[in-house]
Amino acid sequence: MLLKGSCHCGAVRFSLESAHPYPFNLCYCSICRKTAGGGGFAINLSGSSETLSVKGKGSLRIYRAMIRHERSPARRHFCGRCGSHLWLWDPRWPELIHPLASAIDTRLPVPPERTHLLLDSKASWVQVRSDPGDKRFQGYPDESIAEWHERLGLAQPKGKRKKARRAVSTRARGRSRAKR
């Protein structure tokens, strides 16, 4: 699915292909919450970095969060004019881009269930509103974005998703061992 997104002021516009476009992954970590989560969480999607096209690159700024007194290799891209958080790219998984659902202008499909992750990092004022089929995790779930889409029969045809599935699955395993 072609995803098109932009910042609030329109200085940055971008597009990319996503084999896994359902906005189901609600992250409550302090980084997502403080850089993009007005409701106490952010929703990250997954897309192919080789398909990323950006207009307004001169307005982009990058933030690398501190995790346990070390600079994260992950790069969070923002608009330098309006401050909108647009996507995350991590050199450990260079084939992936994780755009924020809130920056996407394309109409996204409604997920049949959601995953609430990193609840051990949520702010005390946040009340998790979950539906009966939703899953909750104190840390990272074992299921990757690609695996969630596959389990529910929502993934793209095999030829398009094979490489991304491998990378996202590896990413999920690596993140489950990492501390926030």
**CATH number, residue 16:** 2.170.150.70
In this model, does residue 3 exceed pLDDT 50? Answer: yes
Contacts 24+ apart (CB under 8 A), 58-66: 59/7, 59/11, 59/12, 60/12, 60/86, 63/35, 65/31, 65/35
Q: What is the mean pLDDT of residues 51-78?
A: 96
At residue 34's C-alpha, the angle toward residues 15 and 50, to 5°, is: 20
Give the domain range for residue 119.
Answer: 2-177
Q: What is the mean pLDDT of residues 23-38?
A: 89
Rounded to an integer, what distance in angstroms lies between the CA atom of residue 156 and that of residue 159?
Answer: 8
pLDDT above 70: percentage of residues in the chain: 87
Give the per-residue pLDDT at 155. 86
Give the per-residue pLDDT at 157. 64
Q: How many domains does the chain have?
A: 1
Q: Which position has the token pair 């991590």?
A: 90
Residue range 9-22, pLDDT digits in tens:
999 999 999 999 99
At residue 24's C-alpha, the angle toward residues 21 and 29, to 5°, is: 120
Q: Which amino acid is at 74?
A: A
Rounded to an integer, what distance in angstroms lies between the CA atom of residue 116 and that of residue 137?
Answer: 6
Give the per-residue pLDDT at 168. 40
- 53 CB-near residues (< 8 Å, 6+ apart): 14, 15, 16
Give the per-residue pLDDT at 15. 98
Rounded to an integer, what distance in angstroms lies between the CA atom of residue 143 and that of residue 115?
Answer: 10
Q: What is the pTM of this model?
A: 0.83
Q: What is the mean pLDDT of residues 66-89?
A: 95
pLDDT above 90: percentage of residues in the chain: 79
Rounded to an integer, what distance in angstroms lies between the CA atom of residue 110 and that of residue 129?
Answer: 16
Here the tokens at position 128 are 């998790």
Residue range 125-163, pLDDT digits in tens:
999 999 999 999 999 999 999 999 999 999 876 444 344
Q: What is the mean pLDDT of residues 17-29?
A: 94
